[in-house]
Amino acid sequence: MKNTLLMLSLAAASVPATADDRTCSPLLDLDVRRLAGEEVVNLCEAYQGKVILIVNTASKCGFTPQYEGLEALYRQYKDRGLVVLGFPSNDFAGQEPGSEEEIQTFCRLTYSVEFPMFEKVSVKKGGAAPLFERLAAAGAPYPKWNFYKYLIDRQGNLVDHYISTTSPQGGKIEKAINKLL
């Protein structure tokens, strides 16, 4: 009987873990609320096993047209496992002053944004939302302006970060995403 139990234990230990067996990355083990809604999403449950591009956004910024490139990336690569997550913030020069409903309407009507957008948050050191605190603890800087981007691999690890001037498409970010997919 002992030998049978030992053999079963060894056999179970040699079976590769499935996506459901993976433990959640501490970086993503948190709940966030969808933009202009009440639904709360656990980032691990929703996006574990995907390549994630996190972006702090603003509707009245010189970089706002990057919504177009972010949406194009999302549409091009979502079937291969990419998700873009947007987090509006009013931390820089008051460039996201609207309500969450106004932000959502602007994003959908102006840039046809379909990638997931979440609650309006603070991203500056000392008052940042938990996700941005965790990104900083993982080695990335706090955003210094709107449209900072953070790339997370399928295991939930921070891979790289990109400043506002880094275009979402056709350069460093897209190449890095392709390597992870």
By annotation, the residues acting in catalysis are: 61
The tokens describing 25, both together, are 């990355």
